[in-house]
């Protein structure tokens, strides 16, 4: 069984952190992963900086732009990830935009993920129909798992279809929003989380978008197997040394 | 028989098109996809659309035989006068149509992106007309170089939000519009060109098709034949070209010429000639030809014309390029500027900088005697006066 699936099976209240490769500095990628692992993060979303991240809010746009200015690119990222393959025990989930894979060469891209020990990916602009028509076969060929997103506006029959395709977890987008934004979880969101939970899907659920601190993380975990923090973490490492990552993570876990 | 230039059920023109959108946008795009053809083809819509185009926009626009221009280039050159539309460009054909579609779908808040500001003005105009809330996203750089249009949008009651990311031009304005759309799913995204996720490219092409629909009967009246030999139009995203080509795409005997902005020169690093510099990629939810680096990062294009500096091109045009149905040419900033001056002096018509690119290829083509050429005069040049004046001084 895959590392991530084992984790999803045996543990609840999973904390996942999103970070942007090559941010704040070009060579911080591996250090950030190591610090996150040391701090007790359960799995890590490895963000590929993209020039036009349409699903991301200002914070991740900023970190992506900064990382690209630092000179990051896919080859450097894959080298960085390969270098920690042996020591890193924490499951990594890759997050990037479809054009990055398309331009790099789909097969070459997938092979690189395998080389880096990554078997799960999130591509926010990969729609289900394209997955069905083309990418499902490609990912199967390389043993890769695709993560689908659901939102407050996703219809029930579509959620069920997504559930049937899911091999790791469903990414429950907390609100109709791009990443970042918000700060609190509203009653409306709670109703939505309850609705999804009551569907008794076979897949594990991880909530993301708008999760920023202990309080929002705790609330999310009441309705799902865990949650992802992205923008709040990027903000933190923009303003604090990456040696102090533990100071951000510990209060959330405890 | 269905035209091969119509998209398939998933919105593909050959390998180009599709709807590469985050799940967050799926319900909106699906709603439009399920309804747009039915709405456009309904008698009620057609009646309202045609009546507004006639009485409000001022259609049909004239097809004008440009005698002095014809003499100079040794061909019979007609100008399809889209510049005479209300708001000064072809953009309003699309916004009139889409605002009616938005109303039928019960939408009350409208968002749009704009490059040169023509689409922004055309959107602000129809929103004022229909009393709907209007927000326009515009690159910070374009806000400066197209200031008169910003003022017009504001006067029409629209809110103009500057896009401050990336190249601060059309591409980034579109990114911001999409992000806003994701966060506000109750809004209607009134897209300005034949770009974006399916069904937007097809919807906009259908609404701009009125241009070539009129050309057919106007040419018949003037020349005895519906078909010209050649149609020339400029291409940024490609909406005016799509409209001018639409009813002729299946008539292989009609030569279609799309003119892209070469900026300072195709290989100068400061260009927007997508077909020459791009490769297959995804932008704004559509697979098309895209200017990008070896890692798929989208390039920041350049053109003096804010309406043409887009790093992609509509999927229909990518298909027309790949199948060689249309010939792609380009014009530099300088060539466009001198073409604008030439048309002004020869015919008394000041064209938009975008349109001037289409005019600029006349000197690069060897015409046969009596060759009937239609140039889609997509917009008027009032908004570009500052740039024209600067050029005159130089």
Task: Please report residues of B whose CB lies closer than 8 A to that of A149.
Answer: 22-24
User: What tokens appear for B71 in the block?
Assistant: 């003499």
Query: CA of A213 to nearest chain B CA: how many angstroms apart?
Result: 21
Residue A56 among the catalytic residues: yes
Contacts of A102 in chain B (CB under 8 A): 280-282, 296
Reading the block at residue B115, the tokens are 């490059």
The span from the CA of B218 to the CA of B224, in Å, is: 9
> What dihedral angle (degrees, nearest 10) is formed by the CA atoms of B345, B349, B353, B357?
-70
Strands A145-146 and B230-234: unpaired
In chain A, which residues have their Cβ closer than 8 Å to the Cβ of B15? none
Range name among A100-104, A172-176, B352-356 with the lowest pLDDT average: A172-176
Strands A145-146 and A120-122: parallel
What is the end-to-end Cα distance of chain B in Å, rounded?
54
Tokens of A102: 């398309």
Task: Work out the pLDDT band at A182, boundaries 50, 70, 90.
Answer: low
The answer to whether residue B335 is catalytic is no
Query: Who among A73, A101, A124 is closest to B22 (CB)?
Result: A124
The predicted-structure confidence for A192-201, as pLDDT tens digits, reads as follows 999 999 999 9
Helix locations, chain A, DSSP H: 3-10, 29-39, 58-69, 74-83, 98-104, 106-115, 128-130, 136-141, 156-165, 187-198, 214-223, 231-239, 245-253
Mutate to test the interface with A, among B16, B17, B23, B187 (most CBs of A within 10 A): B23
Question: For residue A130, which residues of chain B lie inside 8 Å, CB to CB?
Answer: 18, 20
> In this complex, which of A75, A133, A177 lies closest to B182 when CB atoms are compared?
A177
Beta bridge partners of B281: B288
pLDDT for the residue B196: 97
Assign residue B238 a region (left: φ > 0; alpha: ψ between -120 and 50; beta: otherwise): left
Query: What is the residue whose two structure tokens read 């940024």?
Result: B236
Q: Note the pLDDT of residue B393.
A: 81
pLDDT over 90 at A177, yes or no: no
What distance in Å separates residue A50's CA from the closest CA in chain B? 6
pLDDT category of residue A184 using cuts at 50, 70 and 90: confident
Subunit contact A151:B23, Cβ cutoff 8 A: yes
Catalytic residue of the set A9, A56, A130, A188:
A56
- Inform me whether the C-beta atom of residue B25 falls under 8 Å from chain A C-beta atoms: no
Query: A181, B185: Cβ pair inside 8 Å?
Result: no
Question: What are the chain B neighbours of A133 within 8 Å (beta carbons)?
Answer: 10
Confidence bin at A131 (pLDDT 50/70/90): very high
Packing angle of the helix pair B210-223, B200-208 (nearest 10 deg): 30
How is residue A137 written in tokens? 């076969």
Whether pLDDT at A142 is above 90: yes
CA distances from B32 to A68, B202, B317 (A): 35, 11, 22
Mean confidence (pLDDT) of chain A = 95
Q: Which residues of A touch B165 (CB under 8 A)?
A: 61, 65
Structure tokens given for B131? 């009393």
Nearest CA among B1, B5, B2, B25 for reference residue B14 = B5
Sign of torsion, CA B247 B250 B254 B256? positive
Q: Which residue has the tokens 């746009």?
A: A61
- Residue B16 has what pLDDT? 98
CB B299 within 8 A of CB B311: yes
Residue A35: pLDDT above 90?
yes
Q: Which sign does the torsion angle of CA B120, B125, B128, B130 carry?
A: negative
Catalytic pick from B80, B91, B107, B287? B91
Burial class, B215, CB count within 10 angstroms (exposed 0-12 / middle 13-18 / buried 19+): buried
pTM: 0.96
- What token pair was written down for A156? 């029930």
CB-nearest partner of B21 from A61, A73, A127: A127
What's the pLDDT at A12? 95
The answer to whether A68 touches A49, Cβ cutoff 8 Å, is yes
pLDDT confidence of residue B1 = 57
Cα–Cα separations (whole angstroms), residue B123 to B117, B128, B144, B161, B164: 10, 9, 19, 14, 21
Classify burial at B71, counting beta carbons within 10 Å of its beta carbon; exposed 0-12, middle 13-18, buried 19 or more. exposed
Alpha-carbon gap, residue A184 to A92, rounded angstroms? 27
Count other C-beta atoms under 10 Å from residue B183's C-beta: 15
Question: CA-CA distance, A94 to B297, in Å (whole number)?
Answer: 17
Tell me the nearest-neighbour CA distance from B27 into chain A, angstroms: 7
Name every chain B residue with its beta carbon within 8 A of the beta carbon of A173: 23-24
Predicted pLDDT at B2: 75
The domain that holds A142 is classified in CATH as 3.20.20.70
Backbone angles phi, psi at B112, to 5 degrees: -155, 160
Residues 188-247 of chain A with CB under 8 A from chain B are none
Question: How many other CB atoms are found less than 10 A from the CB of residue A27?
Answer: 11
* List of residues 6+ apart from A18 with CB closer than 8 A: A44, A45, A47, A60, A95, A179, A208, A228, A229, A230, A233, A234
Radius of gyration of chain A (CA): 17
Q: Which residues of B touch A95 (CB under 8 A)?
A: none
- Is B285's Cβ below 8 Å from some Cβ in A? yes
What pLDDT is recorded for position A46? 98
With an 8 Å Cβ cutoff, are B183 and A129 in contact?
A: no
Q: A169: distance to nearest CA of chain B, Å?
A: 16
Q: Name every residue whose Cβ is closer than 8 Å to that of residue B41 and which is 6 or more positions away in sequence.
A: none
Among the partner residues A74, A125, A158, nearest to B22 by beta-carbon distance: A125
Q: Burial level of B26, CB count in 10 A (0-12/13-18/19+)?
A: buried
Tens-digit pLDDT string for chain B (394 aa):
578 999 999 999 999 999 999 999 999 999 999 999 999 999 999 999 999 999 999 999 999 999 999 999 999 999 999 999 999 999 999 999 999 999 999 999 999 999 989 999 999 999 999 999 999 999 999 999 889 999 999 999 999 999 998 888 899 999 999 999 998 988 999 999 999 999 999 999 999 999 999 999 999 999 999 999 999 999 999 999 999 999 999 999 999 999 999 999 999 999 999 999 999 999 999 999 999 999 999 999 999 998 998 999 999 999 999 999 999 999 999 999 999 999 999 999 999 999 999 999 999 999 998 999 999 999 999 999 999 999 888 7
How many domains in chain A? 1
List the catalytic residue out of A45, A106, A107, A222. A45
Domain limits at A68?
3-253
Min Cα separation A188/chain B (Å): 15
Q: Is A69 on the interface with B (CB under 8 A)?
A: no
Distance from CA of A40 to the nearest CA of B (A): 30
A120 exposure class (CB count in 10 Å sphere: 0-12, 13-18, 19+): buried
How high is the pLDDT of residue A180?
Answer: 63
């Amino acid at each position: 069984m895959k590392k991530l699936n084992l984790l999803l099976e045996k543990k609840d209240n999973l904390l996942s952190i999103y970070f942007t490769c090559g941010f704040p500095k070009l060579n911080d990628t591996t250090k950030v992963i190591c610090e996150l692992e040391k701090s007790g993060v359960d799995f890590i979303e490895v963000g590929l900086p993209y020039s036009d991240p349409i699903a991301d809010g200002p914070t991740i746009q900023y970190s992506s732009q900064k990382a690209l200015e630092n000179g990051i690119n896919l080859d450097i990222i894959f080298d960085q990830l390969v270098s920690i393959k042996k020591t890193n025990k924490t499951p990594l989930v890759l997050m990037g935009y479809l054009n990055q894979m398309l331009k790099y060469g789909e097969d070459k891209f997938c092979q690189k993920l395998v080389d880096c020990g990554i078997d799960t990916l999130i591509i926010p602009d990969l729609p289900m129909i394209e997955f069905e028509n083309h990418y499902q076969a490609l990912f199967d060929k390389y043993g890769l798992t695709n993560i689908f997103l659901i939102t407050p506006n996703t219809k029930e029959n579509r959620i069920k279809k997504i559930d049937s395709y899911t091999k790791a977890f469903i990414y429950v987008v907390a609100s109709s929003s791009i990443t970042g934004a918000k700060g609190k979880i509203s009653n409306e969101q709670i109703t939505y989380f309850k609705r999804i939970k009551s569907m008794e899907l076979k897949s594990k659920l991880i909530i993301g978008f708008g999760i920023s601190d202990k309080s929002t993380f705790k609330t999310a975990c009441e309705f799902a197997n865990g949650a992802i923090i992205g923008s709040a973490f990027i903000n933190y490492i923009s303003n604090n040394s990456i040696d102090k990552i533990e100071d951000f993570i510990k209060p959330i876990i405890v | 028989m269905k035209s091969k230039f119509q998209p398939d059920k998933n919105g593909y023109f050959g390998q180009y098109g599709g709807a590469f959108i985050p799940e967050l946008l799926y319900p909106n795009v699906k709603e439009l996809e399920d309804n747009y053809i039915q709405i456009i083809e309904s008698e009620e819509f057609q009646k309202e659309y045609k009546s507004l185009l006639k009485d409000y926009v001022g259609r049909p626009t004239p097809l004008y035989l440009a005698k002095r221009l014809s003499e100079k280039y040794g061909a019979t050159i007609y100008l399809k006068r889209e510049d005479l539309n209300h708001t000064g460009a072809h953009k309003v054909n699309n916004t009139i149509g889409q605002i009616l579609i938005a109303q039928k779908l019960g939408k009350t808040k409208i968002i749009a992106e704009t490059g040169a500001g023509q689409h922004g003005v055309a959107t602000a105009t129809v929103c004022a007309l229909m009393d709907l809330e209007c927000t326009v996203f515009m690159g910070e750089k374009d806000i400066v170089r197209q200031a008169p249009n910003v003022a017009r949008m504001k006067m029409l009651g629209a809110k103009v939000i500057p896009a401050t990311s990336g190249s601060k031009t059309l591409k980034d304005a579109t990114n911001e519009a999409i992000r806003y759309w994701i966060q506000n799913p109750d809004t209607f995204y009134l897209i300005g060109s034949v770009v974006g996720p399916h069904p937007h490219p097809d919807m906009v092409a259908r609404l701009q098709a009125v241009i070539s629909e009129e050309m057919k009967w106007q040419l018949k009246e003037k020349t005895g034949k519906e078909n010209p030999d050649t149609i020339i139009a400029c291409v940024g995203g490609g909406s005016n070209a799509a409209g001018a080509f639409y009813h002729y795409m299946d008539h292989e005997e009609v030569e279609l010429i799309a003119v892209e902005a070469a900026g300072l020169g195709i290989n100068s690093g400061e260009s927007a000639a997508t077909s020459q510099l791009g490769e297959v990629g995804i932008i704004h939810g559509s697979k098309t030809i895209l200017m990008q680096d070896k890692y798929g990062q989208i390039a920041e294009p350049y053109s003096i014309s804010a309406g043409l500096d887009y790093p992609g091109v509509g999927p229909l045009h990518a298909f027309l390029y790949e199948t060689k149905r249309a010939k792609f040419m380009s014009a530099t900033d300088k060539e466009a500027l001198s073409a604008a001056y030439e048309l002004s002096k020869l015919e008394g018509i000041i064209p938009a900088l975008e349109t001037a690119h289409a005019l600029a290829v006349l000197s690069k083509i060897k015409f046969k005697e009596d060759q009937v050429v239609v140039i889609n005069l997509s917009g008027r040049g009032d908004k570009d006066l500052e740039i024209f004046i600067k050029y005159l001084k130089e």
